[in-house]
Amino acid sequence: MNLKLKIWRQASPQAKGKFVDYEANNISEDASFLEMIDILNDELIEKGDDPIAFDHDCREGICGMCSMFINGHPHGSQKATTTCQLHMRKFKDGETIVVEPWRAKPFPVIKDLVVDRSAFDEIIQSGGYISTTTGGVPDANSIPIQKEHADLAMDAAACIGCGACVAACKNASAMLFVSAKVSQFALLPQGKVEAKDRVKSMVAKMDELGFGNCTNTYACEAECPKEISITNIARMNRHFIGAKLG
């Protein structure tokens, strides 16, 4: 299949970027979106041009590195799919595809489609862990955990921290990411110990970094490649109120 591409090119964080038109021809329908960009990049390198910079790592939908805003959606319009798992058969032959980087003040563009997502690491560093002394490996079943809570914690922990929630949100809010990280600990006995301090410090860090405020549009849930639920945001709100009151 043949495609027309409008891709954001920006040489450096300070440089003024612009959209550049490309053509990708003879692309297999079975190619992934990233493989299509790889093919285009090979052609650019052969011509002596600078290849398009983009983030990628596992290409299996689990690492959270790929991050393209494709035709108005983070990771493209296919539900519950990362860019690396998006295949060209989802597009029409001859279609024009607009590819942009994530847009948010705390995610500055490094080059082309690569953005700096260290803001998420800073939020994790502010409380996304449990404090425990090391020692012998405890038996996995020594602390009883309600099945329902274990399942909800696992669902929250499915978040790969790709930033699609921030990219999708009209307010560039990080509430879905932060609430998933708060929830995965708060639901389990080991995480309950520091739950109050954790929610307060992670929310404070999120605010300090300049993410927007949540206005309950739920675009994040609709676009999340791991289908993280907005009930996590409600849980974080409840825990935040509880932590502030006592």
Partner 1 sequence: MSSKPFYSSITKKIIMSLMGFFLLTFLLVHVSLNSLLLFNKEWFNAGAHFMGSTWYIQAFQWVLFAGFAIHIFYAFVLQIQNWMARPTGYKRRAAMEQSPFSRYMIYTGTIILIFLIIHLGNFFFVKMGWIGNGVPLTANGEEDMAQLVINLFSHGGYVAFYVVMIFLMGFHLDHALQSAFQSLGLNHPTYWGFIKGLSRVYAIVITLGFIIIPLFIYFKNV
Cα separation values, 15 from 12, 52, 96, Å: 5, 15, 25
> Per residue in 32-47, is it b (16+ CB within 10 Å) or e — as a string?
bbbbbbebbbeeeeee
C-beta of 42 vs 121, nearer to partner 1: 121
Q: Does 81 bind partner 1 (CB under 8 A)?
A: no
Q: Determine, following the binding rule CB under 8 A, whether residue 212 of this chain makes contact with partner 1.
A: yes
- The footprint of partner 1 on this chain (CB under 8 A) covers a number of residues equal to 53
Beta bridge partner(s), residue 98 = 6
- Applying CB under 8 A, the span of 35-43, 49-57, 65-73, 188-196 interacting with partner 1 comes to 65-73
Q: Is 133 left (phi over 0), alpha (psi -120 to 50) or beta?
A: beta
Pick one of 22, 33, 54, 69: the residue that binds partner 1 (CB under 8 A): 69
Q: Which of 117, 205, 225, 226 binds partner 1 (CB under 8 A)?
A: 205
Shortest CB 57 distance to partner 1, Å: 24
**Residue 124 φ/ψ, nearest 5 degrees:** -60, -45
Strand-pair category, 18-24 with 73-74:
unpaired
Applying CB under 8 A, which residues contact partner 1? 6, 8, 19, 69, 71-73, 77, 98, 100, 103-106, 168, 170-173, 175, 200-201, 203-208, 210-219, 221-223, 230-231, 233-241, 244
